[in-house]
C-alpha cells in the first residue's frame, strides 16, 4: 500500500476558554491517498474548520492539542518548528478559502499576489513567475490574463477572485490542497463553474484534496469518499455514492434529509385568485442624479409581477441580478419609479408609503447579525413592532413560542443565540405586525443545510396558521422548487421568466432559467 498523502490518527483538540477547556475535535482519524478527494461534511460548529486549521498548523492561541498525529507523507506536521512549517505551506499543502473577496490583499495588484507565491514556493525568478502566472490564469479560463494581473482585487468579480486563488494553489504544485467551502460565498452559477474547474484541475494534476463543506449534495459530487462530522467526532465515512443511498448514522440521515430536492414538494395547496400585491414597471434607482452627468442605469428595469393572497412567489437569480433591489423597493427602503397596488389600493413610493401598507408588508433580511440590534434584548426587539402597530407588548412570549423558541429568550441578547435562533427572532419580528406579505431576502443563505430545513418548515407552519404570502428571494433553485407556487427569474435587473412551478421543466422556458437549473447541484445516488 502506498503512503497516504495525509494521515491523521487519534487527533484530539481543545480550546481553553474562560469556562474551562472545550473539546472541539475528538479522536479524529482518517487517511487521504495520493490523488484522492475526501469530502468533509458537517454543520457549522461541528469542528470541520478547526480540523483544517490544525492541518495548516494555524491554530488560535488558546488551542491545546491533547493527543494524536497529523502526518503529511512522511513529515510529522505537529513536530515542525515555525521556520520549516513555512516551507511546507504553499509548497506541500495549499489552501483555498471560503471568501475570495477577503483573501486577497486589497492594496496589491492580483498579479503580484500570484507571482510572489510562485517566487517563494517554486523558486522562480520574478520574470518566470510572471510568465507562469499568465499561463495559470489562462488555464483557469480567465479572459485577458495580461490586463487582469494589473488589476486590484476590488476591480474583479468574486468568481474571478476565487479562480485566481485556485490557480495560485494549484500553481504551487502541492501534494494536498485543503478547500474550505470554496463556493459558499458565490452564487449558484459561479459556484457551479468553480466546481467544474476544481474537478478538471484535479483530474489533470492528480493532487489530493480535502474538501470541506456543509452541503452534502455538493460534496458527494466532487469527493471520492465522504466523512461526516458531528460535535467534533467523525460519525461516518463512506464512498461518496453510498453516503446518499445508504446513510448508516442518524446524523448522516439528518444531513441527507435536509438537502433540498426539487422533486419533493413541501407545499401542496394552491393560492387563492385574489391579487394581494401588483407591481408594475418597478425600476429602482440608487445613485443621486447629478448635474452634467447621465443618470446611472437603474438596478432593476421595469419589473412587473403580482403576488396573490397566500402565495409563495420565489425570486431567483445570481448576485447583482436585482433581486434584493425589488425587496428594498417594495418595503420603501429604495426609491423607485413604477406603480404598486396593494389590495387594489395604489401605494406611494419611498418615504410616502403609508403605515397600513408598511404594517402589512414585512421583510426578513439575510443576515440576522446585522438586522438585530446587538444592544437590545430579544424582548425589546419584538416589543417594538407590537407597540408601533398597536399590538399588546405582553405578547412577546407568544410570538417567541410561535417561532418555536422558549418564551424565556426574551431576556437574552442576540449574541447569545445561534444563527438559526437569531433568524427565528427576525421572523418573529416580522410576524409581530400580523403581515399579509412577508419578503424573505435570502434568509437561509447564511445557515447550514439542516438549520435551513428547520427554518423552511417554520415558515410553512406560520403560513398555514396565518395565511401569509411570501416573496421568497433566494439563489437556491432546489430549495425554491420545493416550496414556491411560481418562480420569477431575474438577470441583470430584468425579469426574464415568470413561471408556474409545474412549467419549470417545459420547453418554452428562458435559456437562462435552464442554465440555472443545470447549475444547481443535485445529489449523486
Partner 1 sequence: MSLSWILRRLLLIVYTVFVVSVLVFGITQVLPADAAVTLLGENATADALAAIRDRLGLGAPIWMQYLRWVGHAVTGDFGLSMRTGQPVGPEMVAALGRSLLLAFAAIALMLVIAVPLGVVAAVRQGKLADTLTSLVSYLGVAFPEFVTATLFAMLLADTLQWLPATGYVSPFEDVWGAVQHLALPVLTASVILVAHVSRMVRSETLDVLHSDYVRAARLKGLPERTVLMRHALRNALLPVVTIVALDVGYLLGGIIVIEEIFAIPGIGRQLMVAITARDLPSIQAGALIMSATYAVANTLADVAYAFLDKRIRYD
Orientation angle between helical segments 110-122 and 126-139, nearest 10 degrees: 110
Give the whole-angstrom CA distance, residue 181 versus residue 254: 20
Residues contacting partner 1: total by CB under 8 A: 30
Q: Which stretch binds partner 1 (CB under 8 A): 87-95, 251-259, 280-288, 446-454?
A: 87-95
Residue number with CB closer to partner 1 (292 or 355) = 292
Q: Does 341 bind partner 1 (CB under 8 A)?
A: no
Task: Give the nearest distance from C-beta 287 to partner 1 in angstroms.
Answer: 12
Of 56, 77, 124, 136, the residue at the interface with partner 1 (CB under 8 A) is 56
Task: State the Cα–Cα distance between residues 240 and 228, nearest whole angstrom.
Answer: 11
- How many Cβ atoms from other residues are within 10 Å of residue 375's Cβ? 7
Written as one string, the DSSP assignment of 125-179 is -HHHHHHHHHHHHHHTT-S-HHHHHTS-GGGS-HHHHHHHHHHHHHHT--SEEEE
Distances (CA, A) of 280 to 196, 239, 355, 362: 39, 51, 21, 20
By CB under 8 A, residue 59 contacts partner 1: no
Cα 394 to Cα 331: distance, rounded to the nearest angstrom = 27
Q: Which stretch binds partner 1 (CB under 8 A): 28-36, 135-143, 163-171, 398-406?
A: 163-171
Q: Is 169 in the site for partner 1 (CB under 8 A)?
A: yes
d(CA 186, CA 254): 25
Q: Which stretch binds partner 1 (CB under 8 A): 89-97, 202-210, 454-462, 479-487?
A: 89-97
Distance in angstroms (rounded) separating the CA atoms of residues 120 and 271: 62
Among the candidate windows 168-176, 300-308, 405-413, 427-435, which touches partner 1 by CB under 8 A? 168-176
Q: Is 150 near partner 1 (CB under 8 A)?
A: no
Q: Which stretch binds partner 1 (CB under 8 A): 38-46, 66-74, 117-125, 278-286?
A: 117-125
Given a contact cutoff of 8 angstroms between Cβ atoms, the answer to whether 162 and 182 are in contact is yes
What residues contact 300, with CB distance under 8 A and at least 6 apart? 282, 283, 284, 322, 325, 326, 329, 336, 490, 493, 494
In this structure, what DSSP letter does residue 89 have?
A: B
Q: Tell the smallest beta-carbon distance from residue 278 to partner 1 (Å).
A: 39
Considering only residues 121, 436, 450, 513, which one is a binding residue for partner 1 as defined by CB under 8 A? Answer: 121
Nearer to partner 1, 121 or 402 (CB): 121
Q: How far is the CB of 86 from partner 1 (least distance, A)?
A: 6
Among 72, 172, 226, 229, which residue interacts with partner 1 (rule: CB under 8 A)? 172
Sole window of 29-37, 85-93, 294-302, 510-518 interacting with partner 1 (rule: CB under 8 A): 85-93
Which of 98-106, 251-259, 315-323, 469-477 is the region at the interface with partner 1 (rule: CB under 8 A)?
Answer: 98-106
CB of 291 to partner 1, least distance (A): 12
Minimum Å gap between C-beta 155 and partner 1 is 8
Residue 107 DSSP SS3: coil
- Contact between 347 and 328 under an 8 Å Cβ cutoff? The reply is no
Question: What would the x/- binding string for partner 1 be over residues 1 to 40, using CB under 8 A?
Answer: ----------------------------------------
Of the two residues 88 and 333, which places its CB atom closer to partner 1 in the complex?
A: 88
Residues 6+ apart with CB under 8 A from 499: 486, 487, 489, 506, 509, 513
Q: In degrees to the nearest 10, what's the CA dihedral of 165, 170, 171, 175?
A: 130
CB of 154 to partner 1, least distance (A): 5
Please tell me whether residue 305 adopts helix, strand or coil conformation. Answer: strand
Site residues for partner 1, 316-335, by CB under 8 A, read: none
Alpha helices in 432-510 (DSSP H): 449-466, 477-483
Reading the block at residue 178, the C-alpha cell is 485543503
Q: Quick check: 102 binds partner 1 (CB under 8 A)?
A: yes
Give 53 or 413: the residue with its C-beta nearer to partner 1. Answer: 53
C-alpha cell at 231: 460535535
Which residues partner with 258 through β-bridges? none
Nearest to 149 by CA among 114, 119, 124, 173: 114
Look-up of cell digits 422556458: 509
- Contact flag: residue 86 with partner 1 (CB under 8 A): yes
Give, in degrees to the nearest 5, the angle at Cα 437 between 431 and 442: 80
Residue 283 has, within 13 A of its CA and on its CB side, a CA count of: 11
Work out the angle at residue 298's Cα, subtended by the Cα atoms of residues 292 and 303, and round it to the nearest 5 degrees: 150
Least Cα distance to 157 among 101, 202, 82, 213 occurs for 101
Which residue is associated with the grid cell 445508504? 246
**Which one of the spans 100-108, 219-227, 301-309, 407-415 is the region binding partner 1 (CB under 8 A)?**
100-108
Instruction: Please pick, from the candidates 4, 90, 322, 420, the single residue that binds partner 1 as defined by CB under 8 A.
Output: 90
Q: Which of 10, 21, 22, 58 binds partner 1 (CB under 8 A)?
A: 58
Contact flag: residue 105 with partner 1 (CB under 8 A): yes
Binding residue for partner 1, selected from 15, 59, 63, 89, defined by CB under 8 A: 89
Q: Which is nearer to partner 1, 288 or 508 (CB)?
A: 288
What's the min distance (Å) between Cβ of 3 and partner 1?
Answer: 22
For partner 1, which stretch binds (CB under 8 A), given 43-51, 81-89, 342-350, 516-524?
Answer: 81-89
**Choices 138-146, 166-174, 413-421, 431-439; region in contact with partner 1 by CB under 8 A:** 166-174
> Judged by CB under 8 A, does residue 158 bind partner 1?
no
Is 154 a binding residue for partner 1 by CB under 8 A? The answer is yes
Q: Is 162 one of the binding residues for partner 1 (CB under 8 A)?
A: no
List residues binding partner 1 (CB under 8 A): 56, 58, 82, 86-91, 94-95, 97, 99, 102-108, 116-117, 120-121, 152, 154, 165, 168-169, 172
Amino acid at each position: 500500500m502506498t503512503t497516504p498523502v495525509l494521515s491523521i490518527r487519534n487527533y484530539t483538540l481543545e480550546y481553553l476558554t474562560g469556562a474551562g477547556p472545550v473539546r472541539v475535535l475528538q479522536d479524529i482519524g482518517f487517511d487521504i491517498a495520493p490523488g484522492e478527494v475526501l469530502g468533509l461534511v458537517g454543520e457549522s460548529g461541528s469542528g470541520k474548520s478547526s480540523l483544517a486549521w490544525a492541518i495548516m498548523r494555524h491554530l488560535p492561541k488558546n488551542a491545546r492539542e491533547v493527543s494524536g498525529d497529523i502526518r503529511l507523507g512522511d513529515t510529522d506536521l505537529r513536530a515542525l518548528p515555525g521556520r520549516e512549517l513555512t516551507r511546507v505551506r504553499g509548497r506541500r499543502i495549499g489552501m483555498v478559502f471560503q471568501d475570495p473577496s477577503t483573501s486577497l490583499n486589497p492594496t496589491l495588484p492580483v498579479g503580484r499576489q500570484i507571482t510572489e507565491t510562485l517566487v517563494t514556493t517554486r523558486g522562480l525568478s520574478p520574470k518566470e513567475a510572471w510568465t507562469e502566472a499568465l499561463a495559470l490564469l489562462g488555464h483557469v479560463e480567465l479572459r485577458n490574463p495580461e490586463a487582469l494581473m494589473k488589476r486590484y482585487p476590488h476591480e474583479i468579480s468574486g468568481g474571478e477572485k476565487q479562480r485566481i486563488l485556485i490557480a495560485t494553489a494549484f500553481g504551487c504544485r502541492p501534494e494536498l490542497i485543503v478547500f474550505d467551502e470554496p463556493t459558499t460565498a458565490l452564487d449558484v452559477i459561479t459556484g457551479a463553474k468553480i466546481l467544474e474547474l476544481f474537478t478538471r484541475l484535479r483530474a489533470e494534476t492528480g493532487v489530493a484534496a480535502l474538501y470541506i463543506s456543509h452541503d452534502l449534495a455538493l460534496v458527494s459530487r466532487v469527493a471520492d469518499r465522504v466523512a461526516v462530522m458531528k460535535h467534533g467526532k467523525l460519525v461516518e465515512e463512506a464512498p461518496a455514492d453510498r453516503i446518499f443511498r445508504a446513510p448508516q448514522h442518524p446524523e448522516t440521515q439528518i444531513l441527507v434529509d435536509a438537502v433540498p430536492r426539487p422533486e419533493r414538494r413541501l407545499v401542496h395547496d394552491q393560492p387563492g385568485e385574489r391579487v394581494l400585491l401588483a407591481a408594475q414597471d418597478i425600476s429602482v434607482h440608487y445613485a443621486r442624479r447629478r448635474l452634467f452627468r447621465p443618470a446611472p442605469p437603474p438596478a432593476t428595469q421595469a419589473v412587473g409581477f403580482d403576488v396573490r393572497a397566500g402565495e409563495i412567489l420565489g425570486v431567483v437569480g445570481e448576485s447583482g441580478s436585482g433581486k434584493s433591489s425589488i425587496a428594498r423597493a417594495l418595503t420603501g427602503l429604495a426609491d423607485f419609479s413604477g406603480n404598486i397596488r396593494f389590495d387594489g389600493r395604489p401605494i406611494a413610493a419611498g418615504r410616502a408609503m403609508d403605515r397600513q401598507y408598511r404594517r402589512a408588508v414585512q421583510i426578513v433580511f439575510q443576515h440576522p447579525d446585522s438586522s438585530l440590534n446587538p444592544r437590545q434584548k430579544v424582548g425589546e426587539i419584538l416589543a417594538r413592532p407590537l407597540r408601533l402597530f398597536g399590538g399588546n407588548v405582553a405578547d412577546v412570549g407568544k410570538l417567541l413560542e410561535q417561532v418555536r423558541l422558549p418564551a424565556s429568550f426574551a431576556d437574552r441578547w442576540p449574541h447569545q443565540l445561534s444563527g438559526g435562533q437569531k433568524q427565528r427572532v427576525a421572523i418573529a419580528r416580522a410576524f409581530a405586525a400580523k403581515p399579509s406579505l412577508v419578503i424573505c431576502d435570502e434568509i437561509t443563505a447564511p445557515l447550514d443545510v439542516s438549520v435551513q430545513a428547520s427554518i423552511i418548515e417554520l415558515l410553512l407552519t406560520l403560513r398555514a396558521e396565518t395565511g401569509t404570502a411570501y416573496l421568497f428571494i433566494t439563489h437556491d433553485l432546489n430549495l425554491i422548487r420545493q416550496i414556491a407556487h411560481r418562480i420569477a427569474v431575474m438577470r441583470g435587473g430584468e425579469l426574464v421568466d415568470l413561471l408556474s412551478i409545474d412549467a419549470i421543466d417545459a420547453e418554452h422556458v428562458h435559456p437562462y432559467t435552464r442554465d440555472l437549473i443545470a447549475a444547481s447541484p443535485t445529489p449523486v445516488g
